[in-house]
Amino acid sequence: MRVRWAMEEVGQPYAVRLVPWEKFKEETHLARNPFGQIPTYEEGDLTLFESGAIVLHIAERFPGLLPRDAAARARAIMWMFAALSTIEPPIVDRDVVEYAEAGKSWQGERFAMVDERIRARLAQLSARLGDSDWLDGDFSAADIIMVHVLRRLEGTGLLEEHPILAAYIARATGRPAYKRAFAAQLAVWEASTP
């Protein structure tokens, strides 16, 4: 979804090749992504994996997702790293607690610990965002990554504790490019769901 959204924002056509779950660990896919994950991006002879790296490449290759000013550009890239390295890890931990540790005697305790870490990060991010529409100036690749990371918390009740972040997500998901990317992703999901 992050990659689709970036491509839609820069107005570039793209094709999607689905990789069935059972093919993730086959040599053909591992040659493109040694960790057997998705997404993988192919452009001519270039193959990239890791959604953050792919979005950064798209933002550097096509105008519209990174500021021209060098300092603003560096800050946008910094925010991409912050989304992936500071905000997302405790959110991923929460997924582990919810799914991999379901039914364990310590699950409730772990939820409380992880949610406390998430709340702290959300409070810091909300304070930094304040009344700004976007993370740093105009909408950028950083907002794509950050919003996608934050959306992983939808349905947990944690986002509702931070109206500034809820409004930020609403602004981003209201963008025409997001709506096109989401509709395309939803169509793939619906076509593959029995």
130-149 pLDDT tens trace: 999 999 999 999 999 999 99
Tally Cβ neighbours within 10 Å of residue 5.
29
**What stretches of 96-139 show up as alpha helix (H) in DSSP?**
107-129
Please name which of 167, 178, 177 lies closest in space to residue 131, comparing C-alpha atoms.
Answer: 167
Q: Are 65 and 71 in contact (CB under 8 A)?
A: no
- Reported as a pLDDT band with limits 50, 70 and 90, residue 190 is confident
Q: How far apart are CA 13 and CA 161, in angstroms?
A: 38
Q: How far apart are CA 68 and CA 20, in angstroms?
A: 39
pLDDT of 77 = 98
Q: What is the pTM of this model?
A: 0.93
Q: Check whether the bond before 39 is cis (ω within 30° of 0).
A: yes
pLDDT of 193 = 72
Amino acid letter for position 37: Q
Averaged pLDDT, 2-22: 94
